[in-house]
Structure 1
């Protein structure tokens, strides 16, 4: 029987109504695994390849033909906006069937949630945090809600592969299986999986099922890719003309030259009359870019055609932007962060712009994949910006790191189809604390042995020893996070209740203390650390003056004014893989140009290579900058670089006579030293050859709080997690070997 004939009638009607003439190979392969096996399934294919339909057509067929006595399919996604988008999509597919679709997250009304509890059937869409809340607060209802659970669909699987949030998700799935007495199959969906085998292993851990990864020949991808470079002021690398921005803003007021950033002027000009996304790497940059582009509209006497979308905006503003983007006739451009990187339907986009290089190949592919729907090629315009160098600047400052990184990300995928793999061999003590407290919250009093059997046996904690868990439990009892009862059982203690009795406990990612911002009756979003009364803040692409601060309710009241100021929402994380830095080094060494480099970018790369060659880069990694000042270029990733910094300071500094150490992670370390280059290599070789404990790379009495719940852990476990799970000593030793080979 062919695949189409096996689908339920309402699925066939859905396919007919859209005029599809054939099923895609991915959909046929997925149906064969779901219909004919009991295995998990990983669907790794490009954006808009039909992954959602490939998974849900056979799943919904099963649910329609064999009605379940509970929720039968759990769909987990990293963003509420993605759930909302897929909710409409699944409701459309299920029209004409008896399969209900529910969503469960913080923006869903209590009335809708009550309806789901009364009739727990069909598909439930949820975030990891809401699943955590459900397991804690509806613990006794879990068997009734999920007693016939058959499938778990994890969308955007790649976003769960390298963080504690992914670990939390898979811990929750194992806990859910045990509570409900089920063994659902897992289906992972992603457009950016570099190592399918490793991702499949991650997906299947603790499920009790094998994982199948269909090898389907994908259609050739067509990309329209460009990368241009701009100095923020002065002559450009390609044409030595300072007139580019002014040409775009030729009718601007006298203030225009101050505001005319050539890179943003380039974006302003090439988004006119089109629907586009402009991606930035931080919310601060997103706000700043949107402010400038809106001011350009004002100077040009054009209607405002720019919107903004990031995680600190209110749900109303985000959803409003999403709705406008879906309007096929709206030629607007939205400045966004990673909130629009994942698979939310934002209509037919013509272009995506990326300001500076993202941190990962995965991020680059996801952002470019927002375009190129309905047979059109994906289109990404990189815009690299930097300040003009000053005459006294030294070599490392003169290198265009973002340009090199952008080229490296593109080339790694074009040459090798490489994407960052899952992180393994972790000691996730922060998550261990969280799941311990969550388990006690949900299950009530239990003995230490029972608690350990529930928590320590979860697959994500396979590298945590029983001794370490005993150390953790003793510390939590001592600090009243948990309490030992007269019967020898454990319950949540008074100090623990202050942590767990808060909706923020459901999340394992780090959060800043945020204040909601209000302009009259409209909520604009949230900020961190509000300024004094009368000061200005930037949010939602505009500037506002603070009128009132209600610190008890954590609310800020503002009114709008004109102007431009920087925004601040908290720190930005950037975990750059060693392979990216190694590719950047190769780019410096190569002679070839890349076809997607535009005039300025090509010229900037050429002059960078000439400058690097004159200095001895990239073959030589230790460069003398004059007298006793040196710069080391390790060409390794963020966490190996961090380990190397500490190795130099703690293991080598006294022998090297280190002074004035200045690092720009993960690109270079600048310092002065009292020994020769030859001595540097010799000392580095000797110290690296010694057998030392990773804990030796922590400073005396240092307790490096790195993850959200580290503050509740015993100091020894915090130090151990940082040394063994954050610092990448294996890659550090490889990098040192590469550096010291120059001595031979």
Structure 2
């Protein structure tokens, strides 16, 4: 029997209705793995390849043959927008079979949730944070809701494998299965997995099952890719067109942005006209600034506003307005967005994606470009790299266009090697340990210390946490009243802990800033951090507003809309760049290779950067003299190994080198003055790197390097240990230093 024949009749009808002539490779492979094994399954295939349907066609077939008596499948999605989108798609599929589909996150109406609690059945779509809230607040109902749970589908699993949120998701699944007495299979979905074997192991944590990873032969896909460079403060030149001899011709209009405009913004403004596009940026602040600027261009050109905005701090109404507008086939709007529209969501016939500056990861680049290329169009992305024009007296490292080089490196490592960042599963997750300890205690009620340790430390994600470290944590929490001991010797949540656990912000393990809700009349616009005083301006939802009133007690800001521009601030947005990308950046500067996607300005800027790099020796020598006793070190290391190098220089070598005035531009270079020769510099570094030392030696005296959300509630010694052993990449740093031995002979 073929996989198609094995499908339930209503699935076959759905396929006929959609005029599919044959099953895609991913659907046939998924059907085989789900129907014919009892293992977990990891499905990896390109975006828009039908992974969701591939997973649910066999699941729903099995349900139609033997309907679960409770919720039978949980779909965990990382974003509300993705869940909203999949809710619509799955409803259409399940309607005929009368299999209910429920969605559950912060924006879903309470009435919908209440119906699910009364009639637990079918499929539940939920975010990790809402699942946390459910285990905490509805723990007594878990057996009734999930006693016959058979599948857990984790979408965009790659997005959960580089930090605490993925660990939280795996912990929640384990806890839920124990509480419900269920043993569901897990199915992971992703378009961008760098190490499928490690991802399969992560997916199977705590299940006792293996993971089947079908090999999917993918057809070659042609990309439409371009990258252009602009100086922010330089006016557009009238002859700058998006056409270059020998390069892809994507449009032939000159840039007609307002005079004295930011050239890069004008380029985007012109080439989104009459099209449906996304403009990706790397932070919420930049998202606000770009949207405001592009809207001002509409006004200057007497055009209607054709720009929308979408990021995590906006209210549900603004986000959903953008999502619906983008799905409308007859609406030609452009949405400026962060990673919130990067994953999964199908927004129809999207013609073009723009990326301002380089993203931090290959995974992000692939996901963002994958938003386009649907409905038989080729994937199309335009990189717009902007930098301030270097001052005539700028020092060498500031004259290299790092974002341009980074963008090229991200593209090249994928084109040449199909390389994507591997999962980061070797941290010491003490922040998450605090979170899951408090959540477990709050949902279970009183537990003996041994029972609490057994419940928490047996969660597979905490396999690197020792019993001794857990005792240190519990003693600290007792001292600070986050937990307290009962007269019978058991443990319960303490008064200080209740304030944390009872806040809705407790459900998330990713870092959030203290936020104020911004209101305009009856509308909620979104949230901001540290609002300005009355009479000052703020930027949110792509417009500028004047603050009328700030209610600090209720954390509300009331405002009125005005014209103009003002920077927005939502908190820091750090990027984690892999060493592989940094090394490929060095090769970009070193090689003479031409990249067919570079446009006219970018070609010229790259040639200029290569000339500068060769003349200065930076591609062959990691240490360059900037004049006098001012030096610059180019370690060519990723973010966390770079962190380690900075600390190693200061704490292990600083006195011997006579190091002063250290200034880093992470993760590209470190500037400083020193009192030794280059030969002595390398000799000292190598000598110190060859000595055995404790990673804790790279934590500053008295420093408590708070890195994750709940680090502030941990004992300082665990914060230091987690940072030194789980964040700093000391092995990679040492390896790089020892490779410099040849420089001292």
Q: Considering the TM-score relative to the shorter chain, is it more than 0.5?
A: yes
Decide whether the 8 Å contact of 1:237 with 1:601 is kept in 2: no
Q: 1 CA distance for matches of 2:263 and 2:300?
A: 15
The aligned residue for residue 10 of structure 1 is 10
Contact map agreement 2:31 2:55 (CA 8 A) in 1: yes
Distance 1:526 1:235, change over 3 A: closer
Matched residue, 1:391: 392
- Answering whether residue 249 of structure 2 is matched by residue 248 of structure 1, we say no
- Cα deviation, 1:432-454, whole Å, max 9, x if unaligned, reads 01100101001111111111110
1:263-412 superposed matches below 5 A: 263-412=264-413
- What are the Cα deviations for residues 187-232 of structure 1, in whole angstroms up to 9, with x where unaligned? 0001111111111111111122110110011121110000011111
CA contact (8 A) 2:546 2:559 kept: yes
Give the drift of 1:249.
Answer: 3.6
Q: Which residue of 2 aligns with 1:665?
A: 666
Structure 1 contact 249–299 (Cα < 8 Å) conserved:
no
Name the TM-score, length of structure 2 as normaliser.
0.97
User: What residue number does 1:114 align with?
Assistant: 114
Task: Report Cα offsets for 1:114-145 as digits up to 9, x if no partner.
Answer: 11111111101111011111111111111111
Change (3 A) 1:240 1:249: closer
* Counterparts of 1:637 and 1:724, CA distance in 2: 16
Please name the residue that 2:429 is paired with. 428
In the other structure, the counterpart of 1:218 is: 218
Alpha-carbon separation, structure 2, partners of 1:585 and 1:308: 35
How far apart are 1:737 and its partner, in Å? 2.1
CA contact (8 A) 1:14 1:93 kept: yes
Equivalent residue of 1:248, what SS?
coil
CA RMSD of aligned residues (A): 1.6
| 2:72 partner SS | strand
Could you tell which deviates more after superposition, 558-567 or 357-366?
558-567
Q: What corresponds to 2:512 in structure 1?
A: 511
Cα drift, residue 348 of structure 1: 0.8
Q: Distance in 1 between matches of 2:334 and 2:742?
A: 50
Residue 157 of structure 1 corresponds to: 157
In structure 1, what is the Cα distance between the partners aligned to 2:139 and 2:692? 48
C-alpha separation in 2, matches of 1:104 and 1:376 = 33
* 1:530 paired to 2:531: yes
Q: Where in structure 1 do 4 or more consecutive aligned residues deviate above 6 Å?
A: 235-241
Residue of structure 1 in register with 2:469 after alignment: 468
Query: Structure 1: how far apart are the matches of 2:741 and 2:408?
Result: 27
The C-alpha deviation readout for 1:295-318, integer Å capped at 9, x for no partner, is: 111111111111111111110011
Q: Give the Cα–Cα distance (whole angstroms) in 1 for the partners of residues 115 and 519 of structure 2.
A: 32
In structure 2, the gaps of 5 or more residues are: 245-252
Q: Which runs of 5+ in 1 are unaligned?
A: none
Q: Tell me what 2:99 maps to.
A: 99
CA contact (8 A) 2:310 2:319 kept: yes
Aligned length: 736
TM superposition shift of 1:147: 0.8
- Residues 569-608 of structure 1 aligned to structure 2 (within 5 Å): 569-608=570-609
Q: Is the 8 A contact 2:27 2:54 kept in 1?
A: yes
User: In structure 1, what is the Cα distance between the partners aligned to 2:651 and 2:349?
Assistant: 54
Query: Displacement of 1:239 after TM fit?
Result: 7.7
Q: Does 1:720 find its partner at 2:721?
A: yes
Select between 622-631 and 232-241 the one with higher mean Cα deviation: 232-241
Separation in structure 2 between the aligned mates of residue 721 and residue 29 of structure 1, nearest angstrom: 40
Whether the 8 Å contact between 1:628 and 1:672 is mirrored in structure 2 is yes
In structure 1, the partner of 2:737 is: 736
Q: How far 1:739 moved relative to its partner?
A: 3.6
Partner of 1:147: 147
Shift of 1:236: 8.1
From the superposition, tell whether residues 640 and 111 of structure 1 become closer, same or farther in structure 2 (CA, over 3 Å): same
Deviation at 1:741, TM superposition (A): 3.4
